[in-house]
Chain A
Amino acid sequence: MTKNAFSTKGVTKVYGEGRSAVHALRGVDLDIPEGEIVVLLGPSGSGKSTLLNIIGGLDRATDGDAFFQDQNLSDMSDRQLTMYRRDHVGFVFQFYNLMPSLTARENVELVTEIARDPMDPDEALAMVGLRERVDHFPAQLSGGEQQRVAIARAVAKNPTVLFCDEPTGALDSQTGRAVLNVLKDVNEKLGATVLIVTHAASQAAMADRVIHFADGGIREVIVNDKKLTPEEIEW
């Protein structure tokens, strides 16, 4: 039996207090096995990003427990959460979040300098097909290239899990497919668990597991037996 990368028990997230309180998550129970590609789908405000932030160690649950392997993230101090992110988690965001003052390689080195068991920055950039552009600053790169640098930065630490929040949201179909291919490679070659939050339902086709969110809870979980490659996905 495969181990779980994550499991949550009654995770609740409430923003604000009293009458203006917003319930972003209403007691979510979930298990995510290691090594899978998992796509979280759902309309805006359904809670998928909130859950990603909580199990990514960026935010804390108001109530309930979220486990990474055997460790309860809810019990961790801020410093422990930082170390968790540093050692295990890679993030990819819709707006890339690169440091404009660092070149592509330096952006990757930013992570490899502090990670426990990093790969070579050039190797990470080669993986995302940017071997030729390592010395370019973000301002000199296209949106897709910037996103690939962000992915290289996320994978260079050899992460246990890779979190992607709308990774293709700002990209055209061709660039988007290229980015998804990189994510697939990371999953296959590094064995990292990959979680992708997206609006685009079609991307669910490349996942091992699809989790549908609605109104702060899980509507259904579908295990996908017929995975497609990114090239086969309708955009």
Chain B
Amino acid sequence: MVSPLAHKLLRDLWRMKGQAMAIGMVIAVGVGMLVMMQGLVTSLNDTRSTYYERYRLAEVFAPVTRAPERLVTRLAAIEGVSAVEPRVVGAALIDVADFDLPVQAQAVSLPDLRAPRLNDVFLTDGRMIDSDHSDEILLLQAFAKAHDLNPGDRINATMNGARRNFQIVGLAQSPEFLYTTAPGELIPDDARFGVIWMSRSALAAAYDMDGAFNEALLSLSRGANDAAVLDAVDRILDPYGGTGAYPLADQSSNQLVSEEISGLEAAAVGVPPIFLAVAAFLLYIVINRMVQSEREEIGLMKAFGYTNGEVGAHYFKLVMAIAAGGALAGCLMGIAGGRALIQVYVAYFKFPFLVFGLDPASFVIGVSVSILAASAGGLFVLRSVFVLTPAAAMRAPAPADYSRTGAIGHTINRMLDQPSRMVLRRITRQPGRMAGAMIGIACGMALSVSMITIYAGFDRTIDLTFNVVDRSDVTVSFTHAASEATIFELRRMEGVTLVEPVRHVPAVLRNGLATHRGVVSGLAPDQRLSRALDSDLRPIALDGGGIVLSTALATKLDIAPGDMLTVEVRTGRQPVLEIPVTSVAESLLGAPSYMDLTALNRALREPNRVSGAYLSIDEAYATDIYTALQNMPSVAGVSLKSQAEVAFQTLMNTGAGAIRYVMGAIAFVITFGIVYNAARIAYAERSRDLASLRVIGFTRGEAAFVLLGELAIVTLIALPIGSIFGYYLSFGIADGFSTELYQIPAIFDPASYGFAAMVVIGAAVASGWLVKRDIDRAELVSALKTRE
């Protein structure tokens, strides 16, 4: 037989279904988010490692200038190495119909008569190349799609200075090129960097690599000592121009994928607790209100002989039912959401297949945390159940006593009409409860402020990167470190208004155990197009032999101005330099480091060398300039800033950056949930007063003023407090969204605060309207009959 209390439980739930659903939804969103994001991260990680494994992605990459084939046996003999694949790679330029400029590409060799031991490709369309036909190539699918190229099409490409015609026989994907980034650039872009696979013999002929290779791929056996292998590989390849072997972790595509996945992971860890805390808070307020209004029933149950425990358990079950219902709905939502979203991410990361996984731990954590949070809220309620004695509970509560707190200053009092006094006195009488509601709304404001600040932060990153730090229109990179004469050649072009040289030197930067594989950029003094700027955006003078590090790099290397930095140059003679850090520069994209060009060249003992140039051009001559650049043999690639900016926008609006929109929407839902609940509870507590006002002749609007005035005051106080919370919260969230590739600053942007305030006020107005509707519908007679 079902006990009467169980009946009451079900009926209570039914009666408060609106609020129960609202709170359950907050729990559900938190749990759902946790389950979804954890599932997403698990699936992406599983899919990635399966993809890497199935296509035998190398664990060590060892670039070298030109190494004879026989070294392969020596490399394979290194302890811990399980397989070696030598290959030829080279820079190429592809002519595409839809771009004014040829697109940079990497040509990669595939063994002639066998499948590659490492870095295999996944053929998505067409067939594999036939090594008997040296003009057959496979093209990276993403690039082909971006330019509408298909198997059977022919393209022109320039390799090693020679222009040749190729036939596309197939399209392929590779775990090595999930993200493709042109050399010297930071932002991946499918359209602006291609990968061509062709037979080893054909590519070796093009790059003069017969009987030799310029990159070795290695896989390791289980338990191998990675550092020892890297050292051994470097020792073997050094005499042949090895520029330093590096592990998969430093490989650019893999790095970006890892960054994106960990960005998602950060959101999975950071967001759900906010929801659960909010839900606990709401549960506490709602159930507490319910206990207050059911004093009579509680007294009756106790009078009949129900124990504190039994009565308490009844209300506790109510809390649990809401929490468990929300958690269950959250799990289902999380699975459904995860399944939908994973497809988007699989496409985004260009995984050819999906290994869908759910993280069972996330269910357990989600459900148990939501029940714990709800219990915390419930315990406070139980306390108030226990202290009620049967007799006290069954007497109608005396009117709330305002005699001690009701005195407002006489002057203020005289200025107010009675309804305003009611609003004000209620606020002064229960400052604790008002503070609770106020803090709740302030938290909503904080969430909104910090999320909108983050949006502004993303814009700021783009603005700073593309309009302040780099003011050039075109970036040119040369095939090899060229003489400064090339700069003069560029300056002579019609329509080129300014040319500034740059030398990018690949290097490993070390400070103690912290290392960074990157590029040191040598800039001329007084550069105007590409600059190192301090935190106030003033140019930093690059005089002397010191190095200037970007904020991100200084943090990563844990180094400050005045310290010495070890720079292991990975080109030419590969000197190891000790250079003092002179300053830290503001940069939100990548982790650049700057030196004076002359000082850098002197340190390398390669005077007057440049590897590229920044150009400012007159748009009217753009086409002529592009043609001229194409015809310069020393030019390896040309990139337009406008395209780079678009690519950056795309990157930040897909991947992990896109989560900011989801979080923004969620922040709004929470804000609304809190404000609406505050309004509902205030209404529940005052419905009788409001009915009385209506009876004695107040219009609906006049009666609603008493309730909504209170909501308005609480909301208005919450705005500045929420702004302060939000200011600090935005630092945490900005940090979560920052990746190794780009940093998102937490900036104080007044417009963001204004907009967030509008969001909160909007939520308050909407809540007010919903509650006002209930006030209008309330039956005066029944509201009056209830004692309290």
Whether a CB of chain A sits under 8 angstroms from the CB of B689 is yes
CA–CA, A58 to B787, complex, Å? Answer: 18
Task: Sample 16 A-B pairs with CB under 8 A, ordered by A number.
Answer: A83-B697, A86-B698, A95-B787, A101-B402, A101-B406, A101-B429, A102-B418, A102-B422, A107-B418, A109-B418, A111-B696, A111-B697, A113-B418, A137-B406, A138-B399, A153-B696
Whether a CB of chain A sits under 8 angstroms from the CB of B784 is yes
Whether a CB of chain A sits under 8 angstroms from the CB of B317 is no
* Nearest B residue to A109, CB-CB: B418
Q: How far is the CB of A71 from chain B (nearest CB, A)?
A: 16
Q: How far is the CB of B698 from chain A (nearest CB, A)?
A: 7
Whether a CB of chain B sits under 8 angstroms from the CB of A53 is yes
CA–CA, A139 to B696, complex, Å? Answer: 21
Contact with B along A205-223 (1 / 0, CB 8 A): 0000000000000000000
Contact with B along A75-100 (1 / 0, CB 8 A): 00011001101110101010101111
Q: How far is the CB of B721 from chain A (nearest CB, A)?
A: 25
Q: Given A59-B781, A113-B417, A137-B406, are A99 and B401 neighbors across the interface (CB < 8 Å)? A: no
**Which residues from 38 to 55 on chain A have a C-beta closer than 8 Å to any C-beta of chain B?**
53
Residue of A95, A97, A101 with most partner-chain B CB within 10 A: A101
* Nearest A residue to B695, CB-CB: A91
Whether a CB of chain B sits under 8 angstroms from the CB of A140 is yes
How many residues on A have C-beta within 8 angstroms of the other chain's C-beta atoms? 38
CA–CA, A89 to B780, complex, Å? Answer: 15
Contacting A93 at CB < 8 Å: which of B403, B694, B698, B784?
B784
Q: How far is the CB of B305 from chain A (nearest CB, A)?
A: 29
Contacting A91 at CB < 8 Å: which of B421, B422, B696, B779?
B696
Whether a CB of chain A sits under 8 angstroms from the CB of B426 is yes
CA–CA, A78 to B700, complex, Å? Answer: 9
Interface residues of B (CB under 8 A from A): 396, 398-403, 406, 417-419, 421-422, 425-426, 429, 688-689, 691-700, 702, 779-781, 784, 787
Q: Given A91-B695, A114-B698, are A59 and B421 neighbors across the interface (CB < 8 Å)? A: no
Q: Given A102-B421, A113-B418, are A97 and B695 neighbors across the interface (CB < 8 Å)? A: yes
* Nearest B residue to A54, CB-CB: B781
Nearest 8 A-B pairs (CB), nearest first? A86-B697, A139-B401, A100-B399, A97-B692, A101-B425, A138-B399, A110-B418, A100-B400
CA–CA, A93 to B780, complex, Å? Answer: 13
Q: How far is the CB of A87 from chain B (nearest CB, A)?
A: 7
CB-defined contacts of A154 to chain B, threshold 8 Å: 696
* Nearest B residue to A107, CB-CB: B418
**Contact (Cβ within 8 A) B399 A98:** yes
**Contact (Cβ within 8 A) B689 A58:** no
Q: How far is the CB of A135 from chain B (nearest CB, A)?
A: 9
CA–CA, A78 to B421, complex, Å? Answer: 27
Contacting B421 at CB < 8 Å: which of A93, A101, A136?
A101
Q: Given A58-B781, A97-B688, A97-B692, are A139 and B403 neighbors across the interface (CB < 8 Å)? A: yes
Whether a CB of chain B sits under 8 angstroms from the CB of A63 is no
Whether a CB of chain B sits under 8 angstroms from the CB of A160 is no
**Contact (Cβ within 8 A) A59 B780:** yes
CB-defined contacts of B403 to chain A, threshold 8 Å: 136-137, 139-140
**Contact (Cβ within 8 A) B780 A137:** no
Interface residues of A (CB under 8 A from B): 53, 58-59, 78-79, 82-83, 85-87, 89, 91, 93, 95, 97-103, 106-107, 109-111, 113-115, 136-140, 146, 153-154, 157
Q: How far is the CB of A166 from chain B (nearest CB, A)?
A: 11
CB-defined contacts of B699 to chain A, threshold 8 Å: 79, 82
**Contact (Cβ within 8 A) B417 A85:** no
CA–CA, A53 to B780, complex, Å? Answer: 10
* Nearest A residue to B696, CB-CB: A111
CB-defined contacts of B781 to chain A, threshold 8 Å: 53, 58-59
CB-defined contacts of A109 to chain B, threshold 8 Å: 418
Residue of A95, A153, A154 with most partner-chain B CB within 10 A: A95
Residue of A107, A109, A138 with most partner-chain B CB within 10 A: A138
**Contact (Cβ within 8 A) A139 B400:** yes
CA–CA, A110 to B425, complex, Å? Answer: 15
CB-defined contacts of A111 to chain B, threshold 8 Å: 696-697
CB-defined contacts of A102 to chain B, threshold 8 Å: 402, 418, 421-422, 425
Q: Given A53-B781, A58-B780, A106-B418, are A101 and B696 neighbors across the interface (CB < 8 Å)? A: no
Q: How far is the CB of B479 from chain A (nearest CB, A)?
A: 83
Residue of B396, B400, B417, B418 with most partner-chain A CB within 10 A: B418
CB-defined contacts of B426 to chain A, threshold 8 Å: 101
**Contact (Cβ within 8 A) B399 A85:** no
CA–CA, A49 to B425, complex, Å? Answer: 34
CB-defined contacts of A93 to chain B, threshold 8 Å: 784
Q: How far is the CB of B18 from chain A (nearest CB, A)?
A: 22
CB-defined contacts of A114 to chain B, threshold 8 Å: 697-698, 702
CB-defined contacts of B401 to chain A, threshold 8 Å: 100, 137, 139-140
**Contact (Cβ within 8 A) A85 B429:** no
Q: How far is the CB of B452 from chain A (nearest CB, A)?
A: 37
**Contact (Cβ within 8 A) A110 B694:** no
Residue of B401, B425, B696 with most partner-chain A CB within 10 A: B696
CB-defined contacts of A95 to chain B, threshold 8 Å: 396, 784, 787
CB-defined contacts of A86 to chain B, threshold 8 Å: 696-698
Q: How far is the CB of A106 from chain B (nearest CB, A)?
A: 5
**Contact (Cβ within 8 A) A85 B697:** yes
CB-defined contacts of B696 to chain A, threshold 8 Å: 85-86, 91, 110-111, 153-154
**Contact (Cβ within 8 A) A103 B406:** yes
Q: How far is the CB of A48 from chain B (nearest CB, A)?
A: 13
Q: How far is the CB of B111 from chain A (nearest CB, A)?
A: 84
CB-defined contacts of B402 to chain A, threshold 8 Å: 100-102, 137, 139
Q: Given A58-B695, A87-B697, A115-B697, are A139 and B418 neighbors across the interface (CB < 8 Å)? A: no
Further 12 A-B residue pairs, CB within 8 A, beyond A87-B697, A102-B421, A114-B702:
A58-B695, A78-B700, A82-B699, A83-B697, A93-B784, A97-B695, A99-B418, A100-B402, A101-B400, A101-B402, A101-B429, A114-B698
* Nearest A residue to B428, CB-CB: A101
